[in-house]
Amino acid sequence: MNLTELLTESRTLCHADAVSKKRALELASDALAGQTGAPSSEQIFSGLLNRERLGSTGVGDGVAIPHCRLADCNQPMALLMSLATPVDFDSIDNRPVDLLCFLLVPEDGAEEHLQTLAGLAELLSQSSVRDSLRSCKQSPELFQAATKLASKQVA
């Protein structure tokens, strides 16, 4: 699935105030838990934290793609977050992270999960995409930029 199918304006947070990796995961868990078909905040946080314990989802260049599969997740969904101040995320390049794209998928969606992760990684590996997202000042603007950039990826 493409980001345009997974992201909504209500799941887009611009300049979120997170002082740590844990706090960023908590903010995302709380925001995602309020969505239709989503598990509880505690289940989401636990799933994301357990995945991080396997190895950081910080992919480099200030980007992280925290993700997990959850039994109580009824549909794939994403949350895009930019941070007001970059945080340490144990990234592969040891750089702090300020762009995060969270991905939740149903437990039985392994193949879809991997394809979606690959697409997100490809999209966010482009410096022009990262620059465009980082230049956004408000959540609606971040959502519009992300969906416009992701739709170009499909074309």
Q: What is the CATH number of the domain that holds 147?
A: 3.40.930.10
| 68: containing domain | 3-154
pTM of the entire predicted model: 0.93
Overall average pLDDT of the 38-48 stretch: 95
- Checking if the pLDDT of 51 tops 70, the result is yes
Kindly report the average pLDDT of the chain as a whole number.
92
- Can you tell me the mean pLDDT for 48-52? 96
Per annotation, catalytic residue among 21, 67, 113, 130:
67
How far apart are alpha carbons 136 and 145 in whole angstroms? 8
15 carries an active-site annotation: no
Query: Is the CB of residue 77 less than 8 Å from the CB of residue 112?
Result: no
Question: What's the domain count of the chain?
Answer: 1
Which of 80, 110, 76, 109 shows the shortest CA–CA distance to 97? Answer: 80
